[in-house]
Structure 1
């Protein structure tokens, strides 16, 4: 089940990058993000109610649902979408991979949990791999004040995402299922986005082209309802530290789609980066521990290698 949830998260979130690219245009970022989570929330919660899949919750739980909605379904996306106006999306993906480190730090600060030995090694390998993959974009960037703003927003958005993971850990410890939490939190996130639209005086627009509407529905249903439910289920099963490594791997899927739709060219450095990311993935999922266990077995049973 863990492998299924992990693979689902990587594939679903990896394909949302190209869908987000199709959302850029005449519709303001705040409005597009609101459409996405309003659709997701208004579909998800009533469906669960009809299927009697909504758990009983307390007022305190709803306070944390609001916090989750702010961290996972509104404020982080405001940061990422705005950052994309200042720096290339590949660099944002590199920054987002730091969620592994933020989760390890926040788990220690908020829950008193020590990170597993391989988490930091996995994070280092993954980030090094992504830097290699996107080196041309990074090296060619113009790191002026606007680029610094974009970088700062990317870091802030990633930290919001990590805080949302910590809220999800709280839910899991209380026995709350991800679908109940997400259904409420997405609606709260949409309300936060609506408040931002009203407060900022952002104009309402809707692109009725099939490309925009199709990508919007993909982001709302597979990208949000299914993707976040799979990811937060993984958080509840294996912990935020190891689950967050999906944020390092899913840009590989996004990069493959970029090669089809945006003409990305693979190089030796790109393939080297891919190898580092996959190696980090193996470490994060306990691959080194498994290898060590097999080695001990071989030594004890004197099985020739």
Structure 2
């Protein structure tokens, strides 16, 4: 059962990156994000209500939940979705895996948990890998596009890491992780709705099989099912071992991206991807040693 849960999380989150790609071009990215989490809120909220576990947050928790929603369920995705307009989804997924390293550094910054030498070495591997991705893109004559895509992917990854730090603060309110995620998503949906309205974009989704298929997968599988399966796995084997899914899911994303998107990478870019993955593996030894009360994954 543990192996099945582990494989399910890796596959579900590995495929979310291509599902994001399916929605690009159909609407603006803020509209796609709005509908993804609006549907997720309905699904998760209904599940909690039907099982009698739905709880309202306290007033003190609201500002922290709003910040968590901005970093985990709106602004970070706005940057991530936009980055896939410039880069194959597989590359974006690997850049996003650097959130493991950023979490270590942010824990040092905000919670005075100093990283050891393994985390620092892993971080250097990651930075060098991103630089090689940019250099490899220059060989194809698309350096500016690659640079823009990497900047957006790194911005989204940084916001996601900050959201993880906020989730630790939210855990102190004894709201429970499923309810905390639900209410944070509500704030994220509200924020995206305001952005769609102020930008003058239409809320109307695209009624095509491609766009709706991507929406259905991202909302039901990538957000709700993937999250619940991860929690079940964490309860069974521990959050530290379960978090290895964030290292393996980019491998799935890269394979899917190469097959469906016709992604072509130079040798330098491939070396950069390898360095980023190696950096995460090296740094992860430090991350898995510290169990957090609440930590949210993206997919």
TM-score (norm 2): 0.77
Shift of 1:117: 4.4
**Whole-Å separation in 2 of the counterparts to 1:237 and 1:106:** 27
1:164-215 per-residue CA deviation (whole Å, 9 max, x = no partner) reads 1111222345544321111111121111100000111112332222222122
2:69 equivalent in structure 1: 69
| Aligned residue pairs, count | 288
Of 103-112 and 79-88, deviating more is 79-88
CA contact (8 A) 2:136 2:268 kept: no
Shift of 1:80: 1.6
**Whole-Å separation in 2 of the counterparts to 1:282 and 1:98:** 10
1:11 equivalent in structure 2: 11
Shift of 1:106: 1.1
Q: Using a 3 Å threshold, how does the CA distance of structure 1 residues 197 and 264 change in structure 2: closer, same or farther?
A: closer
**Whole-Å separation in 1 of the counterparts to 2:140 and 2:118:** 32
Of 221-230 and 27-36, deviating more is 221-230
1:25 equivalent in structure 2: 25
Q: Using a 3 Å threshold, how does the CA distance of structure 1 residues 20 and 96 change in structure 2: closer, same or farther?
A: same
Shift of 1:34: 0.5
- What aligned pairs does 1:75-224 form with structure 2 within 5 A after superposition? 75-124=75-124, 137=137, 139-140=139-140, 142-144=142-144, 147-224=146-223
List gaps (5 residues or longer) in structure 2.
Answer: 290-299
1:82-130 per-residue CA deviation (whole Å, 9 max, x = no partner) reads 2333444444334323312321121111111122543334455567678
CA contact (8 A) 1:82 1:150 kept: yes
1:60 equivalent in structure 2: 60
TM-score (norm 1): 0.75
List gaps (5 residues or longer) in structure 1.
Answer: 291-305
Q: Using a 3 Å threshold, how does the CA distance of structure 1 residues 42 and 5 change in structure 2: closer, same or farther?
A: same
Structure label with greater radius of gyration = 1
**Whole-Å separation in 1 of the counterparts to 2:150 and 2:265:** 25
**Whole-Å separation in 2 of the counterparts to 1:131 and 1:229:** 35
State the Cα RMSD in Å: 4.1
**Whole-Å separation in 2 of the counterparts to 1:248 and 1:139:** 28
CA contact (8 A) 1:22 1:212 kept: yes
CA contact (8 A) 1:9 1:231 kept: yes
